[in-house]
Each structure stands twice: as structure tokens, then as C-alpha cells.
Amino acid sequence: MGELDLKNLRIDYGARMIIRDFNLAVRNGEMMSLLGPSGAGKTTILKAIAGLLAPAAGDILIDGQSVRDVPPEKRDAVMVFQKPLLFPFMNVAQNIGFGLRMQGQPGREARRHIGAILALTQLEGLEHRKVHELSGGQQQRVALARALVLKPSVLLLDEPLSNLDANLRQRMRELIQTIQSETRMTMLFVTHDQSEALMISHRVALLLEGRLRQVGAPRELFYQPADPEVARFFGGRNFFQGHVRDGKLHSDLGVFPVGPQNGNGHVRTATIRPEDIRIAPRATGQSRGLRGRVVKTRFEGSSTRVVVACGANEVMVLTPEDAFRPGQEVEITVPPEKIRLFPGD
């Protein structure tokens, strides 16, 4: 079992309130990402769950039991830290076996478990290495193995991939995913990388400035952000205002059918993702697109970011074609079904 329930959590550092009104339920066997920019309070939350920080208010439940008065060493939650923090005076196998040894597990059984984890984390052959003789990625894997071997109900991972290069990052991410789906261990995976969160988890919880902003499946957060800030965090750039009348959004960028909506006539904010806008050189003939002029471009490899001035608005477009130059006259098309209209207040 491994159900994690955070209820009305508030965490302070001295007089500074870091986390407030934090509610989150992680289901048994779930892989949940806690996503947020640097300084949002992600590590703080993990430390509170692990018991290394005492919340100022609220409660933490593991499998329905409050663990507020349970010391870290007795909680069924193990944390993998942002840095590997291996014990420098032990070799790889001793590091991995540390928790088992603390629990008084007999040597033979421990060795069997360590062997299995070494295989799972692809560390075979390194068991007798000193930790300062390991690469950064190997150290991260030892830190992961050291926690996994305890088979905790809840595994807390604090940006375990942040110090790795892109290649190794992908391999480690896949490794963690495989381990998760094989063991069905409940995991709370902290990251500041939105694509990592979308790729790795069943559900994503977005934390901005100490507050939980939205929880949901990756596609939900990506396609139905709760508010403009959430959209912005996931790469949303084009925000515009308009008002809805008779199922249509009237805006500077045009009139779009949006289906029946409440709050007829009120000003509402809408957004369209840069990659959903179509762009083409301006045709001579008749067209229904919006006319604009390229302001600047940024080549990103597999795609190019193009900023287009349309009247008073600047629209950002992401296109696979590297065919546009500043000053060029273009035409953009906004597919109405891709417009996200934020709920009014």
C-alpha cells in the first residue's frame, strides 16, 4: 500500500510562509509529479513528507494514518535528495545496503536484495567501487538504489535527474518509469522541467509560489490549463481578450465559434498555443487568414519560433518550417477548436 494524503499543509521557514493551503492526494501505485519553478517550495514539501521538516499546520497521512508525530526513521516514506549525498566512507554496495543494515536485516538476505537492486538500476559490477570513483549519473543511480531497496510505501524523488546530461537523463527517466511500473511503488517525483513531468507521470501537480495551482493528467494540464499562469508555465504565450456573445468569441484576432458559454458579454481571457497556429507566406489571392508581418524569428532546431505583428497584437507561432525572415508579410490561421477560453470569474 502507499496512499499519500496532504491536508491543508502550511510550512514556514522562520517567519516566512513557504507553503500554504496545500492539499494533494497521491493514489496507491501512482506516479505523481510535483512540478514547479525553482524556489516554488518543492523540496520543502518533500522534506515535510519525509519528516525532516515539521509543518506549521495541516496533516500528512500515509495509508490513512497521520504521521505528524512519527519521526522520519519510522515513516514509510524514503526520500532521494536533489544531490546524491552518498556516504563517502562506504562503497557502492554498503551505501545501497545502509537502510537494510539499519533495520537489522541479516547479511545474506540483504545481499540478495542489494544484488536485485544493482541489476534493476544497471549498476552491476560497480558494487565495490568507492563513491568518489563514480560518475555523476552512477552516483544518482546509487542514491536511487539505496532508497528503492527499502521498498517504501511512498518514494519521494527530488529532481533525481537534474544533474545529468540530456542523454543520460532520458535513460534514467525511462529507468525510473520502468521501475515504477514494475514495482507499482507510489512515487512523488519533483521536477522543474515541464516536459519531464508530462512524460513521466500519471498525474501532474503544479506548484507556483508555494500554492498548488492545478492537479491532473498531463494532457489536462497541457490542454486545459486552469488559468493563464498555468498555461504560461507550460509554454503558453498568446493570451488575448474578448467577449463571448451567442457562442462566439469576439476578439482582436477575429471572431471564433466557442460553443455555448455562460456569462454572455463579459470580458474573458483566451489563449492559443504557438504550435497550433498555422503560418504561411502571404498569398496574392483571396484568403481568410489574419494578415501580419514577421518581427523576429528564433531557430530551435526541429522548429522555429516566429513572432508576428498583427495590428496591435504580437502573436507567437511555432512552425516546423525554417522559412520566415523578419519583415516578411505573412498570413496566420487560428483554428477555433484549439482556442482555450479560461473560465470567467
- Which residues lie near another protein (CB under 8 A)? 47, 50-52, 71-75, 77-79, 81, 83, 85, 87-90, 98-99, 101-103, 130-132, 146-147, 150
Reduced to 3 states, what is the DSSP secondary structure of residue 255?
strand
Beta-bridge partners for 13? 16
Q: Which residues contact 171 (CB under 8 A, 6 or more apart)?
A: none
Measured CA angle at 184 (ends 1, 192), to 5 deg: 105
Cα distances (angstroms) measured from residue 241 to each of 72, 228, 325 = 49, 12, 28
To another protein, the closest distance from the beta carbon of 99 in angstroms equals 4
- Report in angstroms how near the CB of residue 210 gets to ligand ATP at its nearest: 7
- Among residues 288, 295, 293, 294, the alpha carbon closest in space to that of 254 is found at 288
Alpha-carbon 104 to chain mean position = 37
Residue 343 as a binder of ligand ATP (CB under 6 A): the answer is: no
**Contact set for Mg ion, span 16-75 (CB under 5 A):** 43
Identify the residue whose cell numbers are 470567467: 344
Closest approach, Cβ 234 to Mg ion, in A, equals: 20
Least CB distance to Mg ion at residue 124 (A):
31
Q: What is the CA radius of gyration of the chain?
A: 25
Letters for 165-204 (x = contact with ligand ATP by CB under 6 A, - = none) are: ---------------------------x------------
**One residue of 41, 55, 99, 236 binding ligand ATP per CB under 6 A:** 41
Binding residue for ligand ATP, selected from 44, 201, 304, 319, defined by CB under 6 A: 44
Chosen residue from 8, 17, 39, 59 binding ligand ATP by CB under 6 A: 39
- Residue pair 21/211 in contact (Cβ under 8 Å)? The answer is yes
C-alpha cell at 163: 544533474
- The partner in contact with residue 257, picked from another protein, Mg ion, ligand ATP, none with C-beta cut-offs of 5 to 8 angstroms by kind, is none
Residue 107 interacting partner from another protein, Mg ion, ligand ATP, none (CB closer than 5 to 8 Å by kind): none
Dihedral (CA of 172, 174, 184, 43) sign:
positive
- Residue whose CB is less far from ligand ATP, 221 or 330: 221
Q: Does 50 bind ligand ATP (CB under 6 A)?
A: no
- Residue whose beta carbon is closest to Mg ion: 43
Query: One-letter amino acid identity for 188?
Result: L
Residue numbers of the site for ligand ATP (CB under 6 A)?
A: 13, 18, 36, 38-44, 82, 192
